[in-house]
Structure 1
Amino acid sequence: MIEISINGQTVAAKEGDTVLKTARAHGIPIPYLCFHPALKPSGACRLCGVETGRASGKKVVMLSCILKVKPGLEIRTESDLVTAHRQKAFDRLLSMAPDSVRIRELAEKFNVPVVPKPDGCIRCRLCVRVCNDIIGARAIAMIKTETGSHVGPGDGTCIGCGTCANLCPTQFITVKDQDNVRTVSIGDKVLSRLPLVRCEACGRQYATAQFLAHVDDNTGDHIHAAGIGHHFCPSCTKMMSRRARTENAHLRK
């Protein structure tokens, strides 16, 4: 047996063993994913880096699954060098497996900040711009957090028009009509749940009362506003418009 130092603590190690095996034997935590005791270590995941070097020498990070113990070896499993190394290793792994729960839980266990989990939003801001500049509801905004900006509820109130979902290039925003209710969601978070209104002609549920009120407020006085005082779905509105044009054509003859 030989003696080495881990985090300032002298521990016994079996000659020929690795630093990782020795640390595990003494209950000293070091992160790893690709190591298995039945296989020859490869250092593929790079997570098990530790700082080594004498007090008077240069400190370097080496992979503990490969580094063999030797008398007087000094190891630190926590340091600025180790933290920087681990962060690069975790980010590299997450670039290949961004949805891996195991990798993210391991990073959290060792207090390593990593790249946020992708949510399907490309931050193009089309939804924010159309809701603010065209619809005028101001129901969606870019919200700044510690992990960056993301799409969320704005200062206004969603009217359930669905324009944001129609423009979203990745379908991150969705609209679902079910059980007489329209649900608008941003990812897995609900932005609004609003009851649907029936078309007075065909009976189909086609829009929210909030959206129809918004349309009335903005087009009610327009000379071409169809169905003033009534609520008709787009299909029935077109049908009535064609019928009106046909009747007017007959009257002019």
Structure 2
Amino acid sequence: MTVYIPILFLILIVVIAYSILFFRQVKARIRTQTFLKELELAHQQVEELTLANERQRMARDLHDTLAQGLAGIIMQLEAVHAHLEKQNVERAQSIIKGSMSHARTTLAEARLVIDDLRKYSQDQYDLADSVKDQVKRFMTATNIPVHKKVAVSYQVSPFLIEHTVYIVSECLTNIAKHAKASKVELVMEQKDDHIFLQITDNGVGFDEKKQESTSGHYGLIGMSERTRLLDAQLHLKSEKNEGTQVTVTIPLKKE
């Protein structure tokens, strides 16, 4: 009988060690499940916050576009009325021409913002088609020609499509608002393990050094956040009267 005591003792040690290991694994699994639930909840909260911020941004853009545009047109029409009362017809006609141009610009900007709102209510399935659609809307709204080269064959995730299309939309919208460009070039190509995106305009450009202290031009905050979420690299190049070039390198994450 005494011979079996060491064997039983050894079995007892093995059982205890296994039990300890098993309970540790159970606790670790419970902690992992709890962490995953918390992570999922945080992800939902981030999505809700992002959606709310996007709606606020687009509502603000639409309000600013229409309010500022219409206010400018009203001021010009008041000036026309004043000149007509003084029989200054030539000056009144000149202001009317400027008002017509201003009204067209305001309408184009409003269409871009409205199209941006519509974009978020539609499913985006293909990156190339989505970008081409953005370019088409831009040209329809502004009459600014866009020379585009879009070549993406790899099927990318809806997440990548959403943020990439946003970056393209933000660039085109700000070209319409600020650049005073007469032509735009857009290149989007798949290169090995990344997507290369470059948007160039021949507009008025701006001083990059002064731009570092401001956040409005070219929606840098929004685009920077999108590129961060994509683990992408964003490069902005601009000079006064030399146009602006936005380059984004987006890594492809194959599943």
TM-score range, shorter chain: under 0.3
- Structure 1 or 2, whichever has the larger Rg, is 1
Of the two structures, which has the highest relative contact order with CA contacts closer than 8 Å and spacing of 6 or more?
2
Query: Higher helix fraction: Structure 1 or Structure 2?
Result: 2
Query: Higher strand fraction: Structure 1 or Structure 2?
Result: 1
Length-normalised TM-score, structure 2? 0.23
